[in-house]
Structures are given as structure tokens and as C-alpha cells.
A and B are shown apart, each in its own frame.
Chain A
Amino acid sequence: MLAQPPIDVVIVGGGTAGWMTAAALAKLLSQVCNVHLVESEEIGIVGVGEATLPHIRSFNERLGIDEAEFMARTRATFKLGIQFENWARIGDRYIHPFGVFGRGQGDLGFHQYWLRMLHEGHAAGHLDDYSIACTMARSGRFALPSEDPRKIASTFNYAYQFDATLFAPFLRSIAEQLGARRTEGRIVDVELDESNGNVRAVVLASGDRIAGDLFIDCSGFVSLLVGKTLAEPFQDWSKWLPCDRAVAMPCKTETAVTPYTSAIAMDAGWRWRIPLQHRTGNGYVHSSAFIDEQDAMDALVSAVEGDRLAEPRILRFKAGRLERSWVKNCVAIGLSGGFLEPLESTSIYLIQAAITALVELFPEKEIAPSDRDEFNRIVDLEYDRVRDFLILHYHATERSDTPFWDYVRTMEIPDSLSEKLDLFRRRGRVVKYREGAFLEPSWIAVYLGQRILPEGHDLRADLPRGDSLASGMEELRTEIQKIVQAMPDHLQMIAQYCPMAA
């Protein structure tokens, strides 16, 4: 029962997904498996300037990574959320923060009290004013959250904006220290075991053959093992998420190193702005059905703030996921398993969710179908919930100024999303799930930011007296202001805590 021979794991591809997987397996399952990663420097990695979700902190912690060192090495900045500009209407802006609105206590969401004030015609200001994360983001300040749950300064979370091309090498050094093996080489052939259809080995251009029991497909969009070799069908979601191209181009930072990512709506998609310590990442995610690549490139070049630091490059993709991520003895993690545009910075989150599931369901040499099915169930659920959340940003718009916005505004949406929307429209209720990337505050921020204003509110919000509610809210807003004013400036915080090497 205990003395199983170690499993030979072969990871195909050494980008963010590959090295995250290698480091996690080498750290957590070193007695159970041998980790061997094959990558080719010729191929390169997609890694554009990456924005992340707060979940990455627990991944790093589990690997024993020192935060300041990690941030310095990847030239990272802090991220408190995403600012959306021009989404519901041109001129609109809102922040989707990592944190709650109000104090995050009691069983009735703060937004319900805010809605009541609004419905009664009181000037309660913007909901953002009652979120410490939003207030910090707007004033460009940052301090680590308090560990005392009674304090307002504990009601936010944070993630990082970092250089993904530096993250993979950083993880590589960790994984190799922990015993992961790396082979340089281009894969030219995949050998199948005819008796059961499993992958037996990959063959390199050098002629070397790397055999394994379990293969992790981190080959990127090519999806070499699961998509291509095992021919797992792809679920195409482009009717809901029509963007299929991105032009990416870094530039010098001319304005502010904001502690948040920006997502600015464009004529046929949206543009990201991700400020790092040494530069700003930019990209225009667009739909080739509504704009051609050259026009998109021109639009990006004229929109960015500083001198370009590289030529614009094009990425081509399709929204969707494989029907199953784990087929036979191959597990697709990262872009090989599915793609959702970076609108809510979910790529690394989805990688992490898949790794967590793999580690929890790590198989024996003889793979139990129940492990595989459970892995696929978990990964599908993650993808499907993120999908609905992304569609919301597009569909809940009033824009009809370009054919693209007109299309997404009027397209059919999945039932699972229209039910959620209807519920919020009525009394500001959010469908309750306890798991998934985005919980209640995220949905509230985006619904309201996209101008979905509930017609009513929860009756329980009518309980407090109007004047005491108003003064309580005013106190909260002032308290948040005061706390944030005492925090260091974002750049100052970085300079103290995690400056990159000069």
C-alpha cells in the first residue's frame, strides 16, 4: 500500500504552466514522483506582462517562496483590483477590487444598505468609497493587510502584476533545486502504447526518447498531447467571447505605476495596461471578425503612454476549453487545456486550480478513472464559472457605437448567466456559491460597474433607522479615507519592500 514505485512525470513545455507544475510536484510529491520537464528555447513562451488574482499568494506560500524576493525577481508591483474604463458607457470607470464592500461583517451584504440609500434618494456616493481596496487603488497607495479581522485594514486582499517571462525562470530555479530534471529539446514525435492508447514517450529532434507514466501537457496553444495527439475535442465559446486575437507591446511607464490593472474598452475589444516596476505591459484583445490585425496594432500603438520597448506582436487564440483536460495518462494544464481572455487575470489562476486538483488527485501508475473524472469535474467547473463572469462584462453594456459592442450587447448568453443577471436586477441578490474564482463582492462590483442597477433591495436593509444608517456610512467612508491616507505610496512601498535589482 505504501511502497509504490515512484511515478515518472514528464512535463511537456516550460512556460508558466510547466514550471508552476514542476515546482509544485517537486515540492509536494517528491517521494511519489520523478519530475522531468522538456522544453525548447526555440519555441519561447507566451508570457505577456501578467496580472494575477490573490490566490497566487497561497500557491507561493505552499512552495515556501519568500514574497519580497519573488516580487524583486519578477519586477512585480502590487495589484488591488482591475479598473474598467468605458465598458457600460464611454466615460464610465469602475474598479473590481480584491476585497469586500463595507466591513464585511453581518449576514446582509453592505451593498444592500447602499442600495436602500440610493432608492430613498440619499447621496450615498459611489459604492467604491466603502471599499478600502478601491480607495487605496484610487489614491495609489499600498500597505499589507492587517491580520486583525476586526480592522477595516483587513478587508482587502491583493495580488501581483509581474513579468511572466521572469516568473518561469524563477520557478525553474526552485523546481531544479527540489530535484526536477530539465531537458532542452524540440519534440518531433509522440509514441503511443497501442494496447491502451496511453502516451508512452516523447521523442526529441536529437533522437532522445523520454518515457513516462504520466504526461503533463503544458505545450501552450498547440496542445500537443491532449488536443493534437489524443484528439480531445475543443468546446468553442467564441459565440459568447468573440475576441480571438491580442496585440501585445510593452512601453515605458510615463504616467503612474498604479496598484491596479486597467482594462480599457476599445472599438472591437479592450486594452490592458499592467504597470510593472520597470515597464508597462499593454495589449489589445480584439475580435478578428470586427477589426483586422493591422488596424488593431495601430490602435494599440497610438493608445499606449510611453516609448515602445518592443515591436508589437500578435497572439491568436480561441475562447473555450477541451471537453476533458485529463485524457488517458495526459493532463493538459494552462493554454493547452483551454483559453479565456485575460480580462479578469484568470490564466494563472486556472493553472493553479488545475495543479491543486492534480496534486489532490495524483494517480498511481495504473490511473484510476475516478481520479481522472474528478479532476475533469473540478477543472470544468472552474472554467465554466469564469466564462460566465467574463461574458457579463461584455453583455451588460449600453454601448452600440461599434458593431462589436452591438453584437455582444445583443447576443444570446448562457442560461446559467441570465439567471444570475435576473436575480441581481430584482433585489441585488448574488447567486451563492462557496467555491470558484469570483465570489459575491466581485459579482457586485461588476454588475454595478456595468450599470445593472437592482430595482429593489433586501427588506432587511430597511431595518436600521435612515439617519443612523446614513451617519454610520459616512463614518465608515471617512475612516477608510483616514486609514488610506496614512499608507505609503505604492512606489515607496515597493522601494522599501521588494525593489528589483538595478
Chain B
Amino acid sequence: MSSRPISSIAIAGGGIVAWSAAAAVRRRLPSIRVTVIDLPVPENALADRLGCTLPSIVDFHQDLGLRDADTVLRAGSGFRLGTRFDGWSGYRSEFVHAYGEYGQTLAGSAFHQHWLRAEHLGEAAPFDDYSTGAAIALAGHFLPSEHTRASRIANYAYGLHIQPLRYREMMRAFALHLGAEERSGPISEVILRDDGFIEALDLADGGEIRADLFIDAGGPAALVRTQLDGRREDWARHLIVDQLIISDQTRPPVDSPALDHVKALDRGWTWEASSPAHVSRGLAYSSEHLGHDQARDLIDNGEQVVLAPGRLTDPWVRNCVAIGDAAVAIEPLEWTNLHLAHSAIDRIVTMMPDVDCNPVELWDYNRQANAEADRARDFVMLHYAGPNRPEPFWRDAASRPLPTTLEHSLQQWRERGRLPFHEEETFSRDSWAAVLIGQGIFPRRIDPLLTSVPKNESARAMENLRSAIMGVVAQTSQQSAYLRNLALQESR
């Protein structure tokens, strides 16, 4: 073979993203030596700092051989089934975006089409009622779907609410256990070869780290990766939130809901998410519409974070790839931050090139990573397209130009509730439907394909689904009960 495989990787960063990358590479490609250059986590590295994660974290753990006992019990995490949106639109005061299915395909048509027809006739129960995850969470309960019959009705999935600092310690210990090495930063200089590849990172302590591949997991500044090329796609014209205040608190364990609460305010929105012994809160706003002092009145203490939404034009250039906030900076709404980092790590492992980092391999990596980031942005932006709130913040957010990919989805939806397929989509068709419907964005027409399904037939099937979901809910109980069970099994 003309080229040779990568045998060493240096990862710059000291947060969850860096250590997760180290653990994944050591676990899945053990022939590669991994050195993590431990750097302080900047306050605006959201993937390292937010507590809410999507269901993909569970798959990520599975690939690493980590069990709930490690990631939940030992790291003090809780379970989450989705987000409860409050005051977000005038359509309903609240709606839930829960992960997994809303209803089931009936007579060859997507469930949401049946629901839209029923809604048009004024006969629909809330869309949330057809999500098992939403129903369980709204009852204040939690149970993973493999313990229920949901897979035959409307399946659901869970993410975790983590305590970022404890979780990072868990992941660091795991990566070290797998043979990753740790060096302390800071990095004093990035040494380039004549061909523009990175040769080594010089450390302030006089050390030098050489590697075949460098992963920049150091937060939005991407100090290593931008030495090669700093081109960036700026999303500020699409997304107006540029300020956050984030606060984390531990507390004595209580029973916590499996839904986080996202509430629209006049000039921004807040979140509150909790696991039994931990609460994370935050405020997201635009500096154009709210002063910092006024913002401080809306949330008890917390750290100020400045956000510049956007992504690198190409996350991977030559022998350096950016992940986490170094690659994509996006507001916390819908919690895509750590998900995108996990996805990048998974993609690096799957697409690991040779030491020459051939352009065709990087082209395919960047194509996938960019498509994924752009669609995550589209989904976040969708939440601002719907609300008809009269306040200047919301009017400004809703008036921003739509990226063509989002415009395409919205236009197809608005016509007849069609959700076109896009490659590298993070959120399922049902997630899109839940957020569109939750905001009261309805299609102009009923899907003509439904005309061959009698209305009462749909109605009966929908009612059966709903009562089957209530049956599942009846078998679940509070999250604390499930956690106790988990701990009991673990102690045996």
C-alpha cells in the first residue's frame, strides 16, 4: 500500500468532547496511540458544558462498552425523554418534543397526516398524546422502552441529563484506563511542516507532541485547527441568539421529571433541566434585544457566555480535524451540541484516513459533517420560524432569511405535510412533525393520499393507539424507582 495508517493522534482539549474522543479511538481503534493535551474548558464550549443530551449518547456509550451503571449511577446522570416547550407559540400554550415515534404509519400514510386531517376536522387529541415518551414523561414517570410494549405501539428513546463535571471525570478515567495518555497544556505553538500539515504541538512546559493526526476539541476558538485555515460559515444572519447565561447547581436528590422545560420569554427563552441531584438552568437571548443587566434580572446567577453561531467551512483540513464547538457553534435549543461532537467522533473512527489525509477522504468527511451541522441548524431555526409572538425579539428571529434546505422542508410541509428526506439528518421525521405541529404550523392541504382511507377508520386506529399508550404509561413509575432498581441490580 502506498500510504500508511495513522498510528498516533493528539487531542487538544480537556472537556467531555476531548475525553470522549480519546476513549472512542482507544476503544475502537486500539492500534492508535492517543495523547490528550489537557486544556481548560472555555466557558463558551457548549458541548462540554451543557447537561442535556440526545438519545445518540446512549448509542455512543454502547459502542464504547459503557453501561448505564457507569454513565448514570456513577456519573450522577438522569434520564430525559424530551423537551417541554412552554409559551412558544399561540397555538397551544405547551407542547412536547419527545424522542421516537408519534403514532404509527396507518394505511400507508405517515401518522402525522392522519392527525392533521383529524385536527382539520376539529377531532384530534393533542399530538403529544400519540408519543409514548411524551405520555410517560408528562405523567412524571420514566422507564426505558425495552421494558415496555412501546415498540409495538409508538417506540421512544431517551437521552441523559448529565452533570458535566462528573461526567467529564468519568470519561477521563475511562479513557486513561483504555490507555490514553495525558499531558498538560497550554500549547505554546503549532509547528507546521512545509506542506502545511501540523508537525507538532509545542507545550508551554517545554514538551513537544508529535502525531499523525490532530483533533481540535478546544472550544469555539479552535486555536489549533485555525492555524491551518480559519474559513467559517457565519450563521448570525439566521440565528439571533448570541448570549447565554448558564448555571449549574447540585442539590439533595429528589424525583426529577424526564422532560426539560424550555420557556419562551418576551426577549429570549430559558431552560431548566434536572437529574435527581443536579439542576441546570440557562437563559438564551440576543444582545440586540436585551441588555446584560436586564438579563441578569431574569436568571439567578450563572456564567455569561458569548455565542457566535456558525461552523468551520471544512472541519477537517490536512491532518487536523475540529470537533465539538471548535467545528460547530450553535445555541443550546434542542441540545445538538454534544450530539454533533459524538457524531464527529464516530465519523472520524469510521472514516479514519491514512497519514496522507487524502483529499478525497476528507471531502467525504466534510460533506457528511457539514450536511449534518446544517440540518441541525435548520431544526433549531425551525423553532423560530413558527411562533407568532409579537415581541421584537421573536419578530426579528422569525424574519431572518431561511437557509435553502430549511425553506425546502418548510415549503413542502406547508403545502401538504410532506417532510422530504435529507441526508445526515439528526432529527427524525416525527421530531420535525412534533415541532411543526407544536408551533401550530399547518399545511395548506390535506394529503390527497388520505382520501382513500375513510375518516372513521383513521379515527378508530388513532384512538386505539392512544389508549394503548395510556396502557403503557400505567405500567411505568417515577424515575427514582427505576434508578433504585438499577442501583440494586448493580450492587448484586
Q: Is the CB of A432 within 8 A of B368?
A: yes
Within A370-420, the residues touching B (CB, 8 Å) are: 370-371, 374, 419
Say yes or no: A459 contacts B412, CB within 8 Å.
no
Could you pull out 29 A-B pairs where Cβ atoms are within 8 angstroms?
A: A1-B446, A2-B120, A2-B446, A28-B449, A28-B452, A29-B449, A29-B451, A30-B451, A368-B415, A370-B412, A370-B415, A374-B418, A419-B360, A419-B363, A423-B360, A423-B364, A426-B353, A426-B354, A426-B361, A427-B353, A432-B368, A435-B421, A435-B423, A455-B1, A456-B5, A458-B352, A459-B5, A459-B32, A460-B29
A contact residues around B5 at 8 Å (CB): 456, 459
Given that A368-B415, A371-B415, A434-B423 are contacting pairs, would A456 and B1 also be in contact in the complex, using a CB cutoff of 8 Å? yes
A426 close to B360 (CB less than 8 A): yes
Docked complex Cα distance between A427 and B30 (Å): 18
Q: Does chain A have a CB within 8 A of B349?
A: yes
Asked if A431 is an interface residue, CB under 8 A from chain B, the answer is yes
Chain A interface residues (CB < 8 Å from chain B): 1-2, 27-32, 62, 107, 359-362, 364, 368, 370-371, 374, 419, 422-423, 426-427, 429, 431-435, 455-456, 458-460, 462-463
User: In the docked arrangement, what's the CA distance between A462 and B444, Å?
Assistant: 54
Residues of B within 8 A of A374 (CB): 412, 418, 420
CB pair B411 A1 closer than 8 Å: no
Report the Cα distance A459→B358, complex, angstroms. Answer: 16
Residues of chain A with a CB closer than 8 A to B364's CB: 419, 423, 429, 431
Residue of B nearest to A374 (CB): B412
Q: Give every chain A residue within 8 A of B2 (Cβ-Cβ).
A: 455
Q: Judging by beta carbons under 8 Å apart, are B31 and A459 in contact? A: yes
Is the pair B108, A429 in contact by a Cβ cutoff of 8 Å?
Answer: no
Q: Tell me if B65 counts as interface (CB < 8 A to partner A).
A: no
The CA of A62 and the CA of B105, in the complex, are separated in Å by: 14
- Given A368-B415, A374-B420, A434-B423, verify A459-B448 contact (CB < 8 Å): no
Given contacts A107-B350, A429-B351, 16 further A-B contacts (CB under 8 A): A1-B444, A27-B452, A28-B108, A28-B452, A29-B451, A29-B452, A31-B451, A31-B452, A107-B63, A374-B412, A374-B420, A426-B354, A429-B361, A432-B368, A434-B423, A463-B28
* CA distance in complex: A442, B32 (Å): 31
Per-residue CB contact flags for chain B residues 418-433 toward chain A (1 = under 8 Å, else 0) read 1011010000000000
Within 8 A of A (CB), among B1-37: 1-3, 5, 28-32
Q: Which residues of A contact B120 (CB under 8 A)?
A: 1-2
Nearest-neighbour CB distance to chain B for A411, whole angstroms, equals: 20
CA distance A107 to B351 in the complex (A): 12
One digit per residue, 1 when the CB lies within 8 angstroms of any chain A CB and 0 when it does not, for chain B 447-467 equals 011011000000000000000
Please name all residues of chain B whose beta carbon is closer than 8 Å to the beta carbon of A460 when the two chains form the complex: 28-29, 349-350
Q: Which residues of A contact B360 (CB under 8 A)?
A: 419, 422-423, 426
Query: When each residue 39-78 of chain B gets 1 if its CB lies under 8 Å from chain A and 0 otherwise, what string results?
Result: 0000000000000000000000001000000000000000
- Chain A contacts of B363 at CB under 8 A? 419
Evaluate contact between B448 and A32: CB separation under 8 angstroms.
Answer: yes
**Which residues of chain A are within 8 angstroms of B350 by Cβ–Cβ distance?**
107, 458, 460
Instruction: Decide: A463 and B108 in contact? CB cutoff 8 A.
Output: no
Q: How many whole Å from B309's CB to the nearest CB in chain A?
A: 27
| Shortest distance between the CB of A425 and any CB in chain B (Å) | 9
| Complex Cα spacing A427 to B423, Å | 23
Give CA–CA (A409, B361) in the complex, Å. Answer: 24
B448:A362 contact, CB within 8 angstroms: yes
Closest to B359 in A: A422
**What's the nearest-Cβ distance from chain B to residue A301, in Å?**
45
A360 adjacent to B445 (CB under 8 Å): no
